[in-house]
Structure 1
């Protein structure tokens, strides 16, 4: 029996290497956009959860990949919901300016993977998925918008049932 589509959500991690420290005036426009962009995500159709720092409204203080790398980790009901937020909202305006604030990545900087509904991914889990994508390429366990996989494919590949996707 196949689990209903809503039994799984899409997790995403993206990382960005800062060109300058967050308190540098050259990054001030990005910092000023954090609250409105995060509020838009929180209110977007299909949004489930996003990582925030201790006592913060964003996760910029968390630096699991180095002092110059910020992370964004969130969960969405569907790939379409995440795509619509990322590419069909005010978020796109911020993305268009990313080269002002962030270095160009040589390796993959975005990873998507399926999680059981209600599961909150850890930063360690997210970084492991990104590493898997960087080292092995796209698979049902770690993929991108350009190389999508379904939750059913992820469950089948894991061989351990839906909870292990």
Structure 2
């Protein structure tokens, strides 16, 4: 099995607004590092336009509500990318570019090797986590005993919800 993850967020401004310009300008670099990272398998792509990342994969009719959906070989591989690459610097500054949602915005689940989850599938997993809590169908970092790096770098509970 491989590990799928979905992270959703609502930008504080439209993608062409100066308030999110630094974040938008870094998307290609951060995504590129992710794609070259050990254990990376797949990423939901946007238009391919430079500087847009996956932001065209918005949720509903709100273009500021964006999603990142990836598949990794293992928990350790995803943890390494999140906490041991430039991604961490942007993660730690997320409050500059994203609204606090007030509910869980991140979910992981196991997928068969070769499966590429659709955004609708990922959103259903997130809703399951929100409604039923963490379990084998949908989980977060806290549910994973082997998630060592997360324990050291975890965000506050208010920011994670």
Q: What band does the TM-score fall into relative to the shorter chain?
A: 0.7 to 0.9
| Conservation of the 8 A alpha-carbon contact between 1:139 and 1:149 | no
**Given the alignment of the two structures, is residue 48 of structure 1 paired with residue 41 of structure 2, yes or no?**
yes
**Given the alignment of the two structures, is residue 27 of structure 1 paired with residue 44 of structure 2, yes or no?**
no
Correspondence for 1:132: 128
What CA distance in whole angstroms lies between the structure 2 residues aligned with 1:149 and 1:111?
A: 15
Aligned-residue CA RMSD (Å): 1.5
Count of residue pairs the alignment pairs up: 143
For the pair shown, which has the larger CA radius of gyration, 1 or 2?
1
- Report the Cα offset of residue 148 of structure 1: 2.2
> Out of 74, 83, 92, which is 2:88 matched to?
92
What CA distance in whole angstroms lies between the structure 1 residues aligned with 2:57 and 2:105?
A: 16
TM-score w.r.t. the length of structure 1 is 0.82
Listed as ranges, the gaps of 5+ residues in structure 1 are: 1-7, 151-165
> Out of 136, 141, 144, which is 2:137 matched to?
141
- Report the Cα offset of residue 68 of structure 1: 2.1
TM-score w.r.t. the length of structure 2 is 0.84
Listed as ranges, the gaps of 5+ residues in structure 2 are: 147-161
| Conservation of the 8 A alpha-carbon contact between 2:9 and 2:105 | yes
The 4+ residue runs of structure 1 with deviation greater than 3 A are 54-57
- Report the Cα offset of residue 26 of structure 1: 1.0
| Conservation of the 8 A alpha-carbon contact between 1:140 and 1:149 | no
